[in-house]
Amino acid sequence: MPELYLFIVVLLFGLAISDLVVGVSNDAVNFLNSAIGSRAASRRTIMIVASIGIFMGASFSSGMMEVARKGVFNPEYYVFYDIMALFLAVMLTDIILLDLFNTFGLPTSTTVSIVFELLGAAFMIALIKNMGGQSDIPLGEYINSSSALAIILGIFLSVGIAFLIGALVQYFTRLLLSFNYERKLKWVGTLWSGMAMSAMIYFLLIKGMKGASFIPDALVDWTYNNTWRLIGLTFVVATFIMFLIHRFFEINILRLVVLFGTFSLAMAFAGNDLVNFIGVPVAGFESYNAWSASGQDPHEFSMRILGTAYPTKTYLLVGAGLIMIVTLWFSRKARSVTETEVNLGRQHEGLERFSPNWLSRSIVRLVYQLNKSAGKIIPHNWLEKADAQFEANNKPKSSDKEYEAYPAAFDLVRASVNLTVASALIALATSYKLPLSTTYVSFMVAMGTSLSDRAWGRDSAVYRVAGVVNVIGGWFATAFIAFTVSATFAMLIYHFQIYAIIGLVLLGVLMIVRSFGLHRRREKNKAKREALHQAAQKLEARQVIENTSTNTAKSVNMVNQIIDRLLNGLISEDRGMVREAKTLLAELQGENMEFKYAFYSQIKRIKEQETEASRTYLLVYDLEQDFLQSTRFIADSCTEHLNNLHSPLQTQQALKLRGLIALLDQYFRNIAHALENNDYKVKSQLKDEKKMLLKQIESLLSKQVIGIKQESFNAINSFLFFNILLELKDLVAVSFRFFKLYARLEKMTDNDSWTLIAREE
């Protein structure tokens, strides 16, 4: 029996290493986004600064380890056997959950994950003990209700607080500096920089001292007794240094603020979130040492000892910090998670990732009405002066050659506000030992500053707000999933012991391996698309359009596969085939989003004298939309028909449809092959195939109309069949229009031909 618990302790530390890797991969977005989004320095420089911050922050996290021991549950009501099952369930759940979010590039909260995992496992074991007659203590006594409620409220209240403070600070900062801040750096900029630096130094070096494991108590007491003097001195010194740097070295001092903010936020992250990764294994190790020294039965040894606070060993903190740094440098998933926040907060226009919903529309409409009402109250000349400060005459610029291919998402002013406010709030929470979510704070501060900076214009607001709503919804889903899965794992481990442990570990390994493969494929496809996009930047207008033929061929092939699965699934009433088709359709829609981005960027790049080329490119885009719309309509119709358990297609309908499927398959294959290989000599052959297909579809439509008059008429089946035929007719016509467009393009070379193409189409 002792060997089992030693194995569990070793496994906990092994899981802790994995948890550090997946946790940092997700949370790196919190302290890297502002520096990378504003292109404040090269990625290498940013990573070095962040690494130093992580290493130092790990040493300030000792006091936070109490959260894993007694912050969520009351350990005196649990025995050693309970605690081992509880801790192991928590760690397994945390790794699987965070890796899943990382794979899909979604930021989530490691703090929320660990808190609700502890709650779920602790509640389940308490429930088992009560139902099994092992204890008559009320369920509510097992949970540290006051502490757990304070943690949960602190986490979720931080969402609104961070958003509000971020928006207010950004608004007044932009009023002072404007978008053309370079000319104001000498005086206003140095004052702002000095204030930002002193705020971050105050929260990190003064507030953060309270949890440090190596700073003498006398120094901490002296610091707290002289707080305001140190703040004033820091502000004066920082401002003076910023002035000298700007005056004599001609360095943009906001870059220094952003880099120091990256350091401070990375340090705050390590100090606040380290408990999420190693707090549980450390508590498990302490529990094992106490139990093994007692000689008692594991089912009888009370874990009251976990209620005692004492500092974690420094070597554990340093080791954890090193693992976090290595992960930061080499994790590919860490880069994947950064896109959501940068895209939602970017200043310039571009492709929107999220679709608007009723909630985002309602919020935008409400804010718009409030803004109009406020405009009637505030003096007009005040509004004009404020608007002048928010006129972005220059776009955010990159400061390093590494980023020249991509524009900065926002400028250094907003980046400095993001980092200053977020690091201050997180460090403040750390000093009071509140496990405030770095993800929630960083994300909501960034969204608040985006709102104040007018990055969410009327053309983009509903999309950006929809993105924020979706991300916040994902946070609530994290809490529910963490609680449920951890409770389930705890129940299995408690009852089945080593068998459940081996099974759950294998399940975790399998899921991580699969997610790694999925992420790798996604990254390869993304890299391929980016390479094609960069290559397209060097092409002339004609070449740009020709380059889209490969993507068009891919779309035709995918539509062919989708239609084949949809119609065969409808005939055989196989919902699995229809689901496969819907998965392919989702992938096609993703490809279409990429095409939108390429369309947007290429149209802007094509020269003014080539406006007809732009019109031709627009025609390609229009055909893509028609193609996708018809396919989506067929997919929705088949799905609804099967979900509602309507009668299957009649025998004659099924036979006719199967014959049509075979002809469509060959036709789509020929179109795709011609586009992919620029083989336009087969025009007459494809034209004959198109006429034959359209004639057959028209014949089926006519017979369907005649069938309506018969007594055996089934309205639902007939209208379904009728609608499918109409959409297939459109797909046949659109696919040939693709071919005809590129075939004509092959013959025409001068500018007049562009006009001819556009007019004929």
| Model pLDDT for residues 206-248, shown as the tens digit of each residue | 655 655 555 677 777 777 677 778 888 888 998 999 889 888 8
- pLDDT value at residue 524: 66
Q: From 124, 32, 26, select the one nearest 73 (Cα to Cα).
A: 124
**For 39-59, what is the mean pLDDT?**
85
What is the three-class DSSP state of 73?
Answer: strand
Choice between 311 and 20, residue whose per-residue pLDDT is larger: 20
Mean of the pLDDT values across residues 575-581? 90
- For the chain, what percent of residues have pLDDT higher than 70? 77
What's the whole-model pTM score? 0.69
CA–CA distance, 50 with 261 (Å, rounded to integer): 9
pLDDT (0 to 100) of residue 443:
84
pLDDT of residue 653: 84
Joined tokens for residue 701:
């439509």
pLDDT value at residue 338: 61
How buried is residue 268: exposed, middle or buried, by Cβ count under 10 Å (0-12/13-18/19+)? buried
| Burial label, 502 (beta-carbon count in 10 A; 0-12, 13-18, 19+) | exposed
Q: Is 299 helix (H, G, I), strand (E, B) or coil?
A: coil
Q: Examine the pLDDT at 749 and tell me if it is beyond 70.
A: no
Task: Write out pLDDT tens, residues 546-567.
Answer: 566 777 888 888 899 999 999 9
Q: What is the pLDDT of residues 118-147, one digit of tens each?
A: 899 999 999 998 887 777 787 778 887 776
Contact status, residue 417 vs residue 166, Cβ threshold 8 Å:
yes
505-524 confidence digits (pLDDT tens):
998 888 888 877 776 766 66
- Which of 8-22, 342-356, 435-449 has the least mean pLDDT? 342-356
Give Cα 152 distance to the centre of its chain: 22
- In order of 135, 232, 233, the CA distances from 244 in angstroms are 69, 19, 17
98 has a pLDDT exceeding 50: yes
Decide if 253 contacts 193 (C-beta within 8 A): yes
d(CA 483, CA 500) in angstroms, rounded, equals: 18
Q: Looking at the chain, which residues constitute the CATH 1.20.58.220 domain(s)?
A: 539-760
Whether residue 721 has pLDDT greater than 70: yes
Output the pLDDT for position 503: 92
Average pLDDT over residues 468-490: 86
Helices (H), 133-201: 139-142, 145-177, 190-201
Of the candidates 559, 533, 544, 588, the residue with the CA atom closest to the CA atom of residue 669: 559
The CA distance from 37 to 339, in Å, is: 9
In this predicted structure, the answer to whether residue 486 has a pLDDT above a threshold of 90 is yes
pLDDT at 336: 62
Long-range contacts of 734-737 (CB under 8 A, 24+ apart): 734/623, 734/626, 734/627, 734/630, 735/556, 735/559, 735/627, 735/667, 735/668, 735/671, 736/671, 736/686, 736/687, 736/690, 737/623, 737/761
Assigned fold of 539-760: Methane Monooxygenase Hydroxylase; Chain G, domain 1 (1.20.58)
Q: How confident is the model at residue 701 (pLDDT cuts 50, 70, 90)?
A: confident
Q: Is the pLDDT of residue 441 over 80?
A: yes
The residues, any chain, with a CB within 8 Å of residue 214's CB and separated by 6 or more, are 59, 314
pLDDT of residue 90: 92
Question: Which pLDDT score, from 0 to 100, does residue 608 have?
Answer: 46
Report the candidate in 16, 61, 17 with the shortest Cα–Cα distance to residue 272.
61
pLDDT attached to residue 759: 41
* Residue of 235, 601, 621, 166 whose CA lies nearest to 419: 166
Buried b (16+ CB within 10 A) or exposed e, 533-553: eeebeeeebbebbeebbebbb
Half-sphere exposure of 375 toward its Cβ, with a 13 Å CA cutoff? 10
Return mean pLDDT, the chain: 78
| Structure-block tokens of residue 416 | 């400095």
Return the higher-pLDDT residue of 592 and 402: 592
pLDDT mean over 159-175: 87
Q: What is the pLDDT of residue 491?
A: 93
Amino acid type, 508: G
- Percent residues over pLDDT 90 in the chain: 10
Among 276-285, 452-461, 643-652, 694-703, whose mean pLDDT is lowest? 452-461
Residues 6+ apart with CB under 8 A from 712: 650
Whole-number pLDDT of residue 124:
92
**Mean pLDDT, residues 596-611:** 52
Tokens found for residue 725 = 């035929």
Counting Cβ atoms within 10 Å, is residue 321 exposed (0-12), middle (13-18) or buried (19+)?
buried
Q: Which residue has the higher pLDDT, 687 or 363?
A: 687
pLDDT at 680 over 90: no
Q: How many CB atoms lie within 10 A of CB 148?
A: 18
Residue 324 identity (one-letter amino acid): M
Tell me the Ramachandran region of residue 541: left when phi exceeds 0, alpha when psi lies from -120 to 50, beta otherwise. alpha
Q: What is the sign, positive or negative, of the torsion defined by CA atoms of 66, 72, 74, 78?
A: negative
